[in-house]
Amino acid sequence: MKNWIPLLLLLLSLSSCKTRNAAKNDTGNARDSITTTEDNRNPKDVNQPVRDKLTFYEHVLIPPKFDQIKIDSKVRVETGSFVPTLDATIYIENDKKVWMNLRALFINVARGIATPDGIKGQDKTSKTYIDSDFEYLNNLLNVNFIDYKSLEKILLGRTFVKISDSQFTLTQNAQGYKMVSNVNQKIVTDEKTREYKIALQYDTNYDLLSVNLKDVLSPDELEISYSDWNEYNGIRLPQNVKIIIKGSKSSQILLENTKFDFSRMETPYSVPSSYKKIEIK
């Protein structure tokens, strides 16, 4: 089942979720139509400039301090084909590695590791493996900017795209903060140059709620949302993350983080000599 390898690499880049978007329903729309004048005065709908920008940037850009974090997760993948719910152990060693082990029905089915040098993954069901740079992972996600550090930030719910006061508009309302690019964001890599429209939404306490990147020259789009934030060992972390990939490749990953642990653990990774190296297009 070669499906496990792209699944592994896809999961290596992010962590999962239940969307926060769901509850804007028809009942609310009907109420809005009746009380239009009142709702127009509702502060949650009025975006105001942020006066204390320094405090905002300090909260959303300064990374948390930690040595290692272990995350136990339930992973659901929707690709158009049936994939069973997976149990995942994700271990992040700050600035060094992201290690993941996947299980189905208590059986280990895949394992992978990401370092600043690239990503490796093995599928135990088909006895195959991959050894790749981050360009392969970028192709899976329909983007061109994922490297090791951005992967780490995605998993922990931190701002993983570059934002600046000169190229983004920052506003605030009763729901929190919103940053929207006021010019297309050009990201240049060795392989390609792409331009994105980017929008980020934060809660009133600066927790990241969603990031949307839309390629301006193609239908490719990546959206990652976070919910159910709590503090663990002095660090705020999301319990749920949802990754939606649209465009030339479409799928979504929902990951429910059920436990966080900050103790060190072993992260074995070796490929048996009988495994076959594969390239996945």
pLDDT in tens, 50-87: 988 999 999 999 999 999 999 999 999 888 778 889 99
pLDDT average, residue stretch 40-54:
72
In a domain, 33, yes or no: no
Residue 98 included in any domain: yes
pLDDT category at 44 given cuts 50, 70, 90 is: low
The residue with greater pLDDT, 25 or 185, is 185
CA distances from 151 to 99, 113, 183 (A): 12, 12, 25
pLDDT in tens, 99-130: 999 999 889 999 999 999 999 999 998 999 99
* Closest to 213 (Cα-Cα) out of 116, 112, 143: 143
Model confidence at 97: pLDDT above 60? yes
The parent domain of residue 109 ranges over: 4-18+50-268
On average, the pLDDT of the chain sits at 84
33 phi and psi angles, rounded to 5 deg: -65, -25
Average pLDDT over residues 30-39: 43
Q: Closest Cα partner for 272 from 131, 125, 124, 100?
A: 124
Report if residue 42 sits inside a domain.
no
Q: Per the domain annotation, does 29 fall within a domain? A: no
pTM of the model: 0.82
Q: How many CB atoms lie within 10 A of CB 232?
A: 16
| 133-172 pLDDT, tens digit each | 888 788 878 888 899 999 999 999 999 999 999 999 999 9
d(CA 27, CA 131): 51
State the CATH number of the domain containing residue 211. Answer: 2.50.20.10
pLDDT band with cut points at 50, 70 and 90 for residue 33: very low
43 within a domain of the structure (yes/no) = no
| pLDDT confidence bin for 249, thresholds 50/70/90 | confident
- Rounded Cα–Cα distance for residues 93 and 4 (Å): 24
How many domains does one find in the chain?
Answer: 1
Number of other CB atoms surrounding residue 35 within 10 Å: 11
Query: Is residue 121 in some structural domain?
Result: yes
Q: Which long-range contacts (CB under 8 A, 24 or more apart) does 224-229 make?
A: 224/14, 224/154, 225/17, 225/19, 225/20, 225/21, 226/17, 226/20, 226/157, 227/17, 227/18, 227/19, 227/20, 228/18, 229/157, 229/203
> In this predicted structure, what is the pLDDT of residue 136?
77
Per the domain annotation, does 39 fall within a domain?
A: no
Highest mean pLDDT among 27-41, 58-72, 188-202: 58-72
Does some domain include residue 264?
Answer: yes
**Percent of the chain topping pLDDT 70:** 83
Measure Cα distances from 153 to 83, 93, 111 in Å. Answer: 26, 12, 20
